[in-house]
Amino acid sequence: MADYIWNGVGIVTPDSWEPTAIERDGLTFAENGLPMCEFKWNRVRGSFSFEKHIKKITKGHKGASVSGVSDAETPPAWHDAVKKLTASGFRSHSFIWKIPGVRGIGAVVYHSGTGLAALVQFFIRAASDEDQAAKVLASFREYFGGKSLPWAMFGVTARVPASFVLDTFSFQPGHYRVQYWRPRSGKMADRVPPGKGPGTQLVFERFAPASVLLRSTSLAKWIAETVTDSPDVAVLQTDGHGVRWDAVLKTSLLRTVMRRESFSQGRAWQTDSGNAILSVCASGTDSVPTILFPEICESYALIQEETD
């Protein structure tokens, strides 16, 4: 089974499922090219209506027959999964849908404590798909409310202070990049404009294969040339754990007075296994507290390293 944690929510899926679409607040999985599961979520304020969300689902499934069902009308495994969600503080309303050749089952899920509302739906093509869907539903969890949020995707995992919001991300062969943003004001909007105004960017990157990338250069030189907002190689500090830096990139009397100096903190290292380079960089007008930044870096790892 594969564990995916993304922007405040997590699920466990069969190893044969692959993410085919990754959004800021959504995940879609497929198996052998066929869609298997879709997750959409958001945090809502104020009252929440299951009926309104079921109506939205009905409008969204054009050409499909959609109907809400009671727990008693769902398969036994699904019914048990809903019970587990209820025990975790969720309320839910299940629904089924049908189109020629395929049917589906899903649930609208809501947690009043954190305001998380989620739509979870599965494509059912065989009887065995029902039990599989129930297992995935039962694994659904949320991580809001703590001091930090974990994330895990494509074999890498980390924890981010809850004051940061997910900004941009890219998972390309050989290079993963996940960027978070925290404005100086500390006010969190649904969509925080990246880099606008004073604040901090927190970037996690994975590069591979390290043996090829570092074949004719040192880690310090490579980082100075590759990682955005890293300082000149002369500023980088090399030790037995890799490369680290804590520097002022842009400064002047006016910037100092206006509190607009540009800082950069970072750490990069070659993994013991997995043949990869991991880097964490915090940059912007506000630096991350000296005590906190090492904790962020220590949380960033290849998942297989944690289970060796």
The confidence score (pLDDT) of residue 289 equals 79
**At residue 218, does pLDDT exceed 60?**
yes
Tell whether 268 and 201 lie within a shared domain.
yes
What is the residue-averaged pLDDT of the chain? 86
The confidence score (pLDDT) of residue 52 equals 80
Q: Mean pLDDT throughout 75-95?
A: 93
State the pTM of this model.
0.88
**At residue 104, does pLDDT exceed 60?**
yes
**Total tally of structural domains belonging to the chain:** 2
The confidence score (pLDDT) of residue 293 equals 93
Tell whether 186 and 115 lie within a shared domain.
no
The confidence score (pLDDT) of residue 301 equals 96
Tell whether 220 and 74 lie within a shared domain.
no
Structural domain range at position 10? 2-142
The confidence score (pLDDT) of residue 211 equals 95
Tell whether 270 and 220 lie within a shared domain.
yes
Q: What percent of the chain has pLDDT over 70?
A: 86
The confidence score (pLDDT) of residue 189 equals 45
Domain end (from 102, 118, 142): 142
Tell whether 164 and 257 lie within a shared domain.
yes
| Residues 186-199 as b or e (16 or more Cβ within 10 Å = b) | eeeeeebeeeeeeb
The confidence score (pLDDT) of residue 63 equals 63
Q: Mean pLDDT throughout 4-21?
A: 96
**Burial of residue 275 (number of CB atoms within 10 Å: 0-12, 13-18, 19+):** middle
List the CATH number of the domain containing 171. Answer: 3.40.1000.10
Domain end (from 142, 159, 176): 142
Domain end (from 142, 157, 182): 142
Give φ, ψ of 176 to 5 degrees: -105, 140
Tell whether 257 and 199 lie within a shared domain.
yes
Tell whether 137 and 154 lie within a shared domain.
no
Tell whether 56 and 191 lie within a shared domain.
no
293 contacts 283 by C-beta, under 8 angstroms? no
pLDDT interval class at 195 (50, 70, 90): low
Tell whether 124 and 256 lie within a shared domain.
no
The confidence score (pLDDT) of residue 250 equals 52
Beta-bridged to residue 185, according to DSSP, are none
Q: Looking at 55-59, 116-120, 173-177, which range is the least confident one?
A: 55-59
Residues 6+ apart with CB under 8 A from 161: 147, 148, 149, 182, 288, 292, 296
Q: Mean pLDDT throughout 109-134?
A: 92
Higher pLDDT, 152 or 146: 152
pLDDT tens figures, 16-69: 999 999 999 999 999 999 999 999 999 988 888 887 877 776 666 666 677 788
Higher pLDDT, 165 or 188: 165
**At residue 240, does pLDDT exceed 90?**
no
Q: Give the H/E segment covering residue 237.
A: strand 237-239
The confidence score (pLDDT) of residue 253 equals 44
Tell whether 269 and 295 lie within a shared domain.
yes
Tell whether 113 and 191 lie within a shared domain.
no
Q: Which tokens belong to 21?
A: 């679409």
The confidence score (pLDDT) of residue 275 equals 94
Tell whether 130 and 173 lie within a shared domain.
no
- The CA distance from 56 to 295, in Å, is 42
Q: Mean pLDDT throughout 249-270?
A: 67
